Structure 1
Amino acid sequence: MEKVGRFRSPRHYFGSGLVKTIEMHVFVDASQSAFASVVYWRITYEDGDVQVKFVCAKTKCAPMRTMTIPWLELQAAVLGMRLMDTVRQHHSVAIAETVLWTDSKTVLRWIGSTHRRYKQFVGNRVAEILESTKVAHWRWLPSADNVADDATRAQRSVDLSEESRWLRRPAFLRRPAGSWPGTAPTDEGDAEDEEEMPSEFVLVGASDPFISLQRFSSYRRLLRTTAWVLRFIRQCREQRDELENYGLSVAECEAAEDFPDEAFPDEMQPAEKGLDVAKRSDICGLAPYLYANGVLRAYGRIDAVLCIPYSARRPVILSHRHGLTGMIVRDAHVRMKHQNLDATMAEIRTRFWITRLRRELRSVISGCSECKLRPLPEDRLDANGWPFKSTGLDYFGPLLMTVARHQE
């Protein structure tokens, strides 16, 4: 509190020279605790001198409801856009250029994407951002150069002097624009995008290409295609096997099903270190651990039953939001001959543990054309038949029956 009381911020923006151009630079950042935005003027004088002046900043605490880091970074981008509009409204200076900086490539891909097939949370905020900014206004920079990072991280000693990084920097803005770090957003995106990649792509390896899910209507065809791609990658790396002279092996098909799920970013780090995930996590009760290629598997007491396959004892954990989930559930529904929920769920869990599986399976069954058109038994369609002419009864026991005022 004593440092805050001594805090002083110079409010004069311009020096004695003639101003050539004024640029506005907005930095945004987020963490699990807060998200923030800070605005600077970049003033270029006629003599070539460049000065960077602090304008204003705003910080908000993260919501009580748990949110992923990409969502919080998107919230920070919205905060920066709103702060930019406020500065424009309350200043009459002519702004030559506006640049908004973020260290989240996920947010840049959301903003720069051309198809914009997003969920409601992301879609609404991206639409609001694009109402006041253009895609070209946004750029990426490393976290070490992001000044807004100072407002979102807990620090024991805070430098509030007039020469601090918060008031005078970032230093790279005093250099020519060609030497600035980072890039502008593109539609290529990055693998960390948790909204777009699971709905369209399946990752077949840590450094391997993507396969579009939209080209496949069958999970089996997708699985075999992925297995062939993995074999091609191994052969390019000169990792050949004598058995690869023939068709696909069972091991290759099983390896094709080991794909990482980007829906659990907060669980990856504890699982990799062998620690327990947060109690609020959807997979807390599954004791997840990190398997090869970044795959999360479940672990439990059933692991002691060695007579069942390894995939059934330690199934791959998938989110119901994953793009492959619907294909896996539909494939199991067809292979199980359109049986009831429990039978199909038991079949799926021999390889995968899908969150909210019962709801997903009901959705698949409700949209199944064969289940809708399944005919009734012929004995129920007889005309002019007596009620209950044909009746089925499932017997189970023991049954208690009253005989002469006592039960047997």
Structure 2
Amino acid sequence: MFHQVGIHRDDQHCQCFLWNNGHSGATPQVYVMQVMTFGASCSPSCAQFVKNTNAKRFAREFPVAVNAIVHDHYVDDMLSSVETEREAIELAMNVREIHAQGGFELRGWRSNSKNVQAALSEQEVDEKNLNVISQFSTEKVLGMWWNSSNDTFTFKLPTKPGEDLLSGRCVPTKREVVRVLSIFDPLGLLANVLMYLKILIQEVWRSGIGWDDAITSTQLEKWRTWLGVIEKVETVSVPRCYRLTTSSSMQTDVQLHIFVDARVNGTAAVAYLRFEENDRIECAFVAAKTRVAPNKLTSIPRLELQAAVIGVRLARTVVESHRININKRLFWTDARDVLCWLHSDHRRFSPFVGFRVAEILENTELPEWRWVPTKLNPADDRTKWQRIPNLSPNSRWIRGQQFIWEKQTEWPEMPTHIGTTLEQKHSVGLHCSSASVIDCEKFSTWMRLLRHTAWLKRYIRNLKAKRDGAPLSLGELTQEELLAAESYLHRIAQESVYLEEIAVLTKAINYDDAYKYRLPKSSPIYQLSPYLDNFDVLRMRGRTGACEFTEPGASCPIILPRNHHVTELIVRSVHWRYHHLNHETVVNELQQKYRIPKLRRVCYKIRVTCQTCKNRLARPDAPFMADLPPARLAAFTRPFSYTGVDYFGPIAVHIEIAHSLNTDSCILALRNFMALRGTPLELFSDQGTNFVGADRELKEAYQRIDQNLLFKEFTTSNTKWSFIPPGSPHMGGS
């Protein structure tokens, strides 16, 4: 197949090789492969892409054949199944035609129908015989032996181990026992036989012997017991076709039955398909899965639950890999503990049980789970070997349990009581009450809290001294007492958040094993390398302790939680010390002694809540401006219909020179304005109050203007004179 796929000319240089044409000593020449080569990692995927791309060109003309090429091919092998001989011949011819269009040729056809075999073999000349044994009807298909004459799967013993090893005449080594397990059984048809060998290999592995050491006498006895069964493997015959009496019509009810079981040595799950059409019922073996128990001892209920998980995964694989429309799924188990866990709240159980129950309920429904007695469970044949397994085609392992061949009324009924307390979480109620001697929340300043704590500690110390007859501490507080109170408050703040970290570090000190008792990486202070000082205060380990120019605590600052009240009081005290200013200076001073997460955010919070800072930064709110007068909003009127009068306003539309500030000059200026601009409808003036800031002479001169004379002169039937309120220049237009 690979040599039928050409390589683009630009990519052929990746397949260069040297060749001397068989002449020894000759200088080899450089050649390139123009097609895909065997052994290249990209060849399988590229060949599949080319094969599928060629097939998709005929998706409209041959949809069934294209689907068979895309989904029923494994590299260059095709395995497909249809209902009738005519469909098989038509499918094969169409697939052959599509492949021929891409340069591929399908040969070596095999079928369980003689008519189909004859029709497909007529055009083949010099047919490649894929048989490795003398019988023509038995052929190896994808690693499994298929007898096309009776349409069954069979098995052949491996020839590599040798006759002496399989006959039991010699004692095998660990390597030879493992090599025998190379029997290819992807569907689990021989799972009831190979499971015993898996358990034996696990036992040999736990014994600790070397790869080339002989197994023990006990293991040899089990080995020979297994050899007595493996001889009959070649007689095993499993039908390939699921249905013989029922049809593939929509009226046929198809059910998938999964049986699960577990023992101390391993778990097992086996799947059967059940077909029911009218009064005809037939069942067929589909697949099986086994797994040995872990080396660590596990309880039987847990193994039963693990077997249920394997059964759910097996059912999902069977449904996804079949084109058969399965109407219903049923899961059978003989473990009442599993049924109880499924019908209970899985959050009440241990994590091992809870997670697996959650996976089961995510992929199945509760009504799909049924109970079956141990004697009626075919999966029980795989988990224990109390007797030699039955390998005949009529065994319950191949044929299925008898009750699934009967009506549903004959199936085992669910037990009435399936309760259990296994794996249930046991919670113990513990009430712990702790009352602090000092309530830090009642203090608003750090110094008041510090001195109050120091006085209280002196009081307690004096009580003990009085009891013991020792001298009492009197007078003002000393520096040592204030430092002790400060360390006590630091510990209160740290224990409220970092209690687990303090407990781990305390164990490391008491047991002198810092490597064993280390903080988990999930701790918020893990990267700070914390440690406890002589006062049991949590500090960050620094590297500048030998520097002579730093403060004693700057190298190893005290770790404080950001949201504790003690931390807020300390930050507020430094904020007050710097008179509510110099924010970065406050941060720098705090970093000289403390390690507070997100310190700048804490400082910002203090500034925002500080009343002094609020007062200092407060700004009066500007009053809202009143609505504009109607004259300012008049539209569709002649310019200067509404005129504001002022002397040297900041903005003037019409400027008229007044020779003096008396009334006559004002009247003359207004008459000149009217002669040029027309008579206005309304005049606005500010009564002189807008001259704030001018000299006194200007104000006194303006006051000499006769306001009444102006009002009388210019107030007519067409013109109105209005005086604006004081302090409102916007009403006059200035």
* Greater gyration radius: 2
* Normalised TM-score (structure 2): 0.28
* Normalised TM-score (structure 1): 0.49
- Bigger relative contact order, structure 1 or 2, given CA contacts below 8 A and separation 6+? 1
